[in-house]
Amino acid sequence: MRSFALAAVFSVLISGSAFADPQIVLPQGVLAGATDGGISVFKNIPFAAPPVGDLRWRAPQPAPNWNGIRDASKFGPICMQAPRPKGMAYEKIPESEDCLSLNVWSPDTAPGTKLPVMVWIYGGAFRGGGSANSIYDGMELAQHGVIVVTLNYRLGWFGFLDLPTLAAEHPDEPHGNYGLLDQIAALKWVRANIASFGGDPSNVTIFGESAGGMSVNDLMVSPLARGLFTKAISESGLGLIHTPTSAEAQAAAAVFTARTNAGNDPAELRALSAASIVQTEKDNVENGTTPMVDGAVLPDQVSRLFAEGKIAKVTYMAGSNSDESTLMKYIGMTKDSLLKPLGDKLAAVRALYDADGKIDDDEFVRQFFSDALFASGAEGFAHYVAKTGEKSYVYHFRYLADALRGRDPGVGHGGEVVYVFGLHGFSQTPRGAMLASFVTDKDKQMIGLVQNYWTNFAKTGDPNGVNLPQWPTSSDAAPQTLVFDDQTKAVSGFRARQLGVIYMGWAARSGDPIP
């Protein structure tokens, strides 16, 4: 490895390279990046072999090397996925099966620098998304003195297909949860290489939103991810939900093989065009392609492993937004399908939300959805982390940008992301460009507040700092939640009555201990 690095440096010196921007020498080869806002940026770095041909539906294999200087100034393609809704920030980004790459933003690449590292995992229901989405631009966070890494992972049937015939080909490899294995491979790459970018491989925070927040929770319980991170942030990561069993995942896979007419033969499956698999994903509404209990990556139900304390011993942050119900239409959930499981308890549950008798149906559904799927999981998982003796922090994001007041009832699913990453990337999207002129100083102050909390947490495991409202840890004796609003402050017993009834219903169904 050392001789390769020396040879690479020598080749750069004698090549008369036209690259004037920052360069990094890795065991894989030499990277030429770019600069933005005083930050060195390196994009489209392979962290695993392209999962194509015989490597489709296999655990990620070692990353390739390259000769000469690799242009790392532009994003690579995102992973194959279901058709993206029009108007989405990443609607027109190219996609490919050859997508296992990551991007790095570093404020200081000097040798020996040991900066905290934040590794972002995007959301998209495990069916969509990508690190080239400009809203995940890491420049602003990096300006707070951290290194930011964003990564791609396989999605849909490419990332989550549990077939016994595929597993039998390589019985020594984990199978089915290929998308999670990609995330683990990226974290291993970070551990091995981030020091070359000025990062500290012993101070790594994973953070993600929605499916990315769920991935953070999955990595918390995965034995294969132990030691790859020291802190974790799960934004709107659900939590108290069912993880598909292997039997359920294989039943869904049987629907896939039937629709493709490829049967269970691995050769025929790998001969399918990527486009035909995406078309099957487009038609796949009733069968989710998500992480499943496989015995290796995920040994059991994620919620049960949290409840039993079988989790990484790391500091943990989790939270939710005030109107997560904006997700309902995207997952095909209706008011009736949400409330039907309550049965004859519906009136009693509604009474907990309607103390003054003035709440209408839409507002009740909005609040109940947000509590049942998101706030309860954040509070519950933080509680379980605290029980292991590790520090945990809980937030609830209620601050609504001035331009959205009077229009939106609350902060929608994913609404906190712009406050985490800031306006630099967001303003490059059609919606962001339209809203940029409406951003107020108060909105910018909230961005600064959130970024300080997140980066402080990444640096030390404690989000608190000078001139920040105090954020207490979540504890058994007096759980507190930091509520981001016009006046950001910690609240004791946040939504305790509403969340309490959700916990009891969940425990009765799952058999897991009540948080």
Alpha helices in 359-440 (DSSP H): 361-370, 376-387, 417-421, 423-426, 430-435
To the query of whether residue 383 is one of the catalytic residues in this protein, the response is no
- Stretch (H or E) spanning 78: strand 78-79
Backbone angles phi, psi at 4, to 5 degrees: -65, -45
Catalytic residue among 209, 324, 379, 390: 324
Give CA–CA dist 49/108, Å, rounded.
28
To the query of whether residue 101 is one of the catalytic residues in this protein, the response is no
What does the block give as tokens for 133?
């989405």
Burial per residue of 167-193, b for 16 or more beta-carbon CB atoms within 10 angstroms, e otherwise: beeeeeebbbbbbbbbbbbbbbbbbeb
To the query of whether residue 210 is one of the catalytic residues in this protein, the response is yes
Computed from CA positions of residues 372, 378, 383, 385, in that sequence, does the dihedral angle turn out positive or negative? positive
Show contacts of 192-196: CB within 8 Å, 24+ apart: 193/26, 193/27, 194/104, 194/117, 194/147, 194/149, 195/114, 196/24, 196/25, 196/26, 196/109
Q: Which of 32, 27, 22, 21 is nearest to 7 (CA)?
A: 27
What does the block give as tokens for 192?
């091995």
Burial per residue of 64-90, b for 16 or more beta-carbon CB atoms within 10 angstroms, e otherwise: eeeeebbebbebbbbbbbbebeeebbb
Which SS3 state, helix, strand or coil, does residue 17 take? Answer: coil
Catalytic residue among 106, 210, 376, 474: 210
Catalytic residue among 303, 413, 424, 474: 413
Angle at 210 between CA 206 and CA 213, to 5 degrees: 25
Count other Cβ atoms within 10 Å, centred on residue 356: 5
Give CA–CA dist 500/105, Å, rounded.
41
Give CA–CA dist 254/53, Å, rounded.
21
Active-site positions?
210, 324, 413
